[in-house]
């Protein structure tokens, strides 16, 4: 209240609202995570500020977020983002974005790495050639971390140079 001692006395009441931009707390906000495919994951993000910041989760690459029921959404609201039975398609960088209408909006990048067992597929199950002809056998795999692949013949690993055989690994 502001008051002036005059005759008659005058006073004025004013209100002050203090606003504070959002700030993401290091703890308990999640850091980068490495999990096994099929496990449950909780990403957490907490922020201070006045008014209280809203938390939004998005994928950094702009792709839609895949939820457990195969539903896809652009963003998730709230400080905790739960993923049930995480799969390899959910691997990537996620952004925790805190905003409260007071600039600047802030974000934190959290990398979710999903380890999964190798999947192997062979496009051509049967390949034929005449004796002495060169041929190519292809084996494709997908795994994280990267798998170690090799060919065997009669339970013996075929090494480069063995009977004119060469192997090539491509990413």
Cβ distance 46 to 24 under 8 Å?
yes
Q: What is the pTM of this model?
A: 0.80
Q: Where in the chain is the domain with CATH 2.60.40.10?
A: 20-116
Query: What are the residues whose beta carbons fall under 8 Å from the beta carbon of 111, sequence distance 6 or more?
Result: 32, 33, 92, 93, 94
State yes or no: pLDDT of 133 exceeds 80: yes
At residue 123, the pLDDT reads 81
Q: Which CATH class is domain 20-116?
A: mainly beta
At residue 160, the pLDDT reads 65
Tokens (6 digits) for 139: 């084996």
Percent of residues, the chain, with pLDDT higher than 90: 57
Tokens (6 digits) for 39: 């496990």
Tokens (6 digits) for 67: 């939820």
Among residues 53, 82, 45, 44, the alpha carbon closest in space to that of 65 is found at 82
- Position 162 confidence tier, pLDDT thresholds 50, 70, 90: low
Three-class SS of residue 90? helix
């Amino acid at each position: 209240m502001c008051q002036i001692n005059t005759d008659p006395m005058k006073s004025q009441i004013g209100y002050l609202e203090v606003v504070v931009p959002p700030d993401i707390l290091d703890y308990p906000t999640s850091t980068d995570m490495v999990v096994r495919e099929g496990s449950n994951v909780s990403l957490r993000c907490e922020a201070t500020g006045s008014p209280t910041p809203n938390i939004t989760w998005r994928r950094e690459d702009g792709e839609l977020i895949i939820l457990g029921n195969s539903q896809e959404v652009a963003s998730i609201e709230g400080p905790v983002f739960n993923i049930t039975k995480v799969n390899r398609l959910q691997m990537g960088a996620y952004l925790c974005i805190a905003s409260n209408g007071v600039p600047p909006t802030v974000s934190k990048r959290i990398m979710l790495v999903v380890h999964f067992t190798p999947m192997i597929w062979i496009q051509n199950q049967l390949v034929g050639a005449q004796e002495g002809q060169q041929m190519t056998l292809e084996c494709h795999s997908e795994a994280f971390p990267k798998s170690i692949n090799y060919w065997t013949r009669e339970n013996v690993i075929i090494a480069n140079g063995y009977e004119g055989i060469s192997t090539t690994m491509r990413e």
